[in-house]
Amino acid sequence: MINRYSREELRNIWADKNKYKIWLDIELAAAEAMEKLNIIPKGVVKKVKSKAKINVARILKIEETVKHDVIAFLTSITERAGKEARFLHKGMTSSDILDTCFNLQLKQSGEILLNDIKNLLASIKKQAIKHKKTLCIGRSHGIHAEPITFGLKMLTFYQEFLRNKKRLEDSINEISTCAISGAVGTFANIDPRVESYVAKKLKLKIEPISTQIIPRDRHAQFFSTLGIIASSIERLATEIRHLQRTEVLEVEEFFGKKQKGSSAMPHKKNPILSENLTGLARMVRSAVIPALENVALWHERDISHSAVERNIGPDATTTLDFALTRLNGVIKNLNIYPKNMLRNLNLTNGLFFSQRVLIELTSVGFTREQAYALVQKHAMQSWNDGSSFYKNVANDPKINKKLPVDRLKKLFDFSYHTKRINMIFNRSLKG
């Protein structure tokens, strides 16, 4: 996690100050439950609350000696709160604190990411509707295929991020669990009602069964979802990068008046934001495999996952938050050039009508094989010498014998390719 590719709101979630605050919240919530259950004396929470203060520097200093972060934290609290603090952490293990905190941090991060996706969806939807009828060429294998609209292209991304929104909602729900179950998850030294109280207090669910830790398949799902979202970001960023190429130039990232594109070439306007997003996506996805490998821990627990999560938790969430926010800015401010789209559409002299001609020839008596051979012959001629595909077909005696010119002309109509656009938009934007 570096400041260049992170935003303050999410960065703060992973700051030591917030982590220790959550630890204290968990400890105090557990103590409150124990007071209500007459497990510890009344008034402990009130006294600890009034005296306990988070001192990050002091906690880290103690940890240098004791080599244990939770013990260092509890020692620091005891120094400030006095003898009443001895009732904190009763019957609990470090993982009760660490795992519940980690899940809460992931939940908090996920909620910010969810809002990022909602903002991005609004921007994509706006561009899709605005350019619903803006004709452009559809490409397969990078080669001109058949006409679509730019709005339809954007609509595919809208639907993809809708699915990402649902995936993230499911993953937030999956990760929002709390475990206060003791050393090996048996509740031998702590009342299960304490866990229920803490979970309710923190707006989490209880973990139905834990060992010493919360099962890591939950975390694997969460980070896998982040990876999928990152891949969707890269797909959209890659599309923009292609469409901004000089010889294509159908869209272009916004370029400020005082912005510089190259240290050597003053004429350059590079798709640097989209390129950056491609790189950030790779970084987010790099968290997925470690998260999957964290599932298989030894027996009731080992700590091989710990160092991994201390890295991927902050890094993956803050990077994805930054990437989603940056992508939203790119889409909102994207320069779109319909004239260039139309120019590119006409580059191949009507070749993209080949399928319609093929279908029509089969309807007037040609076998599919015969029709394909005829259409391909004229298409390749047009491709090789730049001639009009329509004229090549119209001048073929075998074709005009069965297909009158007036009927042939009707086949070369852009509206044929856009006639279902409203239907696609209606079902994609439904609800």
Residue extents of the structural domains in the chain: 3-254+266-342, 351-411
Write phi, then psi, for 144 (nearest 5 degrees): -55, 130
CA angle 322, 326, 327 (to 5 degrees): 120
CATH classification of 351-411 is 1.10.40.30, yes or no? yes
Q: Which two tokens stand for residue 83?
A: 């003898």
Catalytic one of 50, 262, 304, 363: 262
Q: Which residues contact 200 (CB under 8 A, 6 or more apart)?
A: none
pTM, 2 dp: 0.94
Catalytic one of 140, 141, 267, 299: 141
pLDDT for 82-136, tens place per residue? 888 999 999 999 999 999 999 999 999 999 999 999 999 999 999 999 999 999 9
Which of the 8 DSSP states describes residue 416?
Answer: H
**Cβ atoms within 10 A of the Cβ of 15, count?**
13
**Dihedral in degrees, nearest 10, Cα atoms 171, 172, 178, 179:** 20
What gap in Å lies between CA 36 and CA 54, rounded to an integer?
A: 25
The single-letter code of the amino acid at 144 is: H
CATH architecture of the domain with range 3-254+266-342: Up-down Bundle (1.20)
Q: Does the active-site annotation cover 262?
A: yes
Give pLDDT tens digits along the chain (431 positions): 688 889 999 999 999 999 999 999 999 999 999 999 999 999 999 999 999 999 999 999 999 999 999 999 999 999 999 888 999 999 999 999 999 999 999 999 999 999 999 999 999 999 999 999 999 999 999 999 999 999 999 999 999 999 999 999 999 999 999 999 999 999 999 999 999 999 999 999 999 999 989 999 999 999 999 999 999 999 999 999 999 999 999 999 987 777 776 666 777 788 899 999 999 999 999 999 999 999 999 998 888 898 999 999 999 999 999 999 999 999 999 999 999 999 999 999 999 999 999 999 999 999 999 999 999 999 999 999 999 999 999 999 999 889 888 899 999 999 999 999 999 999 999 86
Equal CATH topology for 3-254+266-342 and 351-411: no
Contacts made by residues 192-198, CB under 8 angstroms, sequence distance 24+: 193/33, 193/37, 194/30, 194/33, 194/34, 194/37, 194/39, 194/91, 196/33, 197/29, 197/30, 197/32, 197/33, 197/36, 198/26, 198/29, 198/30, 198/33, 198/100
